[in-house]
Amino acid sequence: MKPDMPETTPPKDASARRAIAPVICYPVDTLPPAPMALYRAARETLVPIRTLRVPPRDAAAFHVPAGHFFRIRSVDGPQVGDLNLWNAGDISERFYSGKTRALHGTHLSTGDRMWSSFPHLRPMATITHDTLDWYGIDEFGGSVHDVIGTRCDPYTHCLLSGGAQYHHCCHSNLTRALCAETGMAAADIESHVHDVLNVFMCTGFTRDTGQYFMKASPVRPGDFIEFFAEIDLLGALSACPGGDCSSEHSSDSAACYPLEVEVLRADPALFEHWQRPEKSGYDRSHGL
């Protein structure tokens, strides 16, 4: 833990050093813009083709073809979910939450894109609608749909609880769901489970210690977040054992509810000239 009081005497120019203005690490003015006008037009034509219910404290996998939409919806009560995405044809290409955070910020909403891992680095999905976009950033610095938390996992739970074994952490749930979908053994598939988009979760960093915090999610039944699949996707969603994450992160006592995943098809005529995003143009053969 950080010391309550600094052990080092501040230099004479400490105030001047602190006063230096920040610079955005990754200016995004040159990023290819998402065609939001196209997506909004397509939203008017959406037809559901598949619905999946994710049980409380469990996870389920699903497929979304490129050019389709999918929604994650709260159905019976306030519940957060942990989302993983992979290229359906090559699961080594997966959602890169850290780079997505660097490009779009700590929390995602409409117009933000979910980028894939190296060496691909391309949009996997674009958020096209978010019924919680009204929440913004609250007085504690909290907001929803974060890419700062990793996912609750049994290893950290065991470490912090003095050895307690808990098997319904989101990491475990996602691993089992991916095993069931691919037929691969858990020992082979676990490393493909990755840092998540914390859907509906309300989080931030404390101002005094900089620690990651959670608070009761503002999500209510009927709320949803919607995505456009830029490539053929394999997804997995865990209904977190913390419920709305108002008090506990991994728990059998928190009130938990199912989540719904809905896959939707738009009028294909609208996408006659649409193209899947290209992989990164960086030629690593010259630099690696």
In a domain, 83, yes or no: yes
Element (H, E) at 97: helix 97-104
What pLDDT, on a 0 to 100 scale, did the predictor assign at position 15? 97
Report d(CA 234, CA 124) in Å as an integer. 10
In a domain, 19, yes or no: no
Residue whose structure tokens are 């996707």: 233
- Length, in residues, of the chain: 288
What pLDDT, on a 0 to 100 scale, did the predictor assign at position 139? 97
What pLDDT, on a 0 to 100 scale, did the predictor assign at position 1? 63
In a domain, 286, yes or no: no
Report d(CA 64, CA 99) in Å as an integer. 23
What pLDDT, on a 0 to 100 scale, did the predictor assign at position 147? 98
Report d(CA 277, CA 63) in Å as an integer. 18
In a domain, 81, yes or no: yes
In a domain, 240, yes or no: yes
Strands (E), 37-142: 47-54, 59-64, 69-74, 81-87, 90-94, 113-115, 123-130
Residues 90-118 have pLDDT tens digits of 999 999 999 999 999 999 999 999 999 99
What pLDDT, on a 0 to 100 scale, did the predictor assign at position 154? 94
Domain count, the chain: 1
Q: Check if the beta carbon of residue 260 is closer than 8 Å to that of residue 54.
A: yes
In a domain, 168, yes or no: yes
In a domain, 126, yes or no: yes
What's the mean per-residue pLDDT of the chain? 96
SS3 state of residue 269: helix
Report d(CA 259, CA 225) in Å as an integer. 12
Report d(CA 142, CA 216) in Å as an integer. 10
Q: DSSP letter at 190? A: G
Q: Check if the beta carbon of residue 112 is closer than 8 Å to that of residue 127.
A: yes
Residue in 180, 106, 190, 100 with CA at minimum distance from that of residue 153: 190
Identify the segments of the chain with pLDDT beneath 50: none
Domain that holds residue 73: 35-268
What pLDDT, on a 0 to 100 scale, did the predictor assign at position 202? 98
In a domain, 68, yes or no: yes
Q: Check if the beta carbon of residue 73 is closer than 8 Å to that of residue 92.
A: no
Residues 34-68 have pLDDT tens digits of 999 999 999 999 999 999 999 999 999 999 999 99
pTM listed for this prediction: 0.96
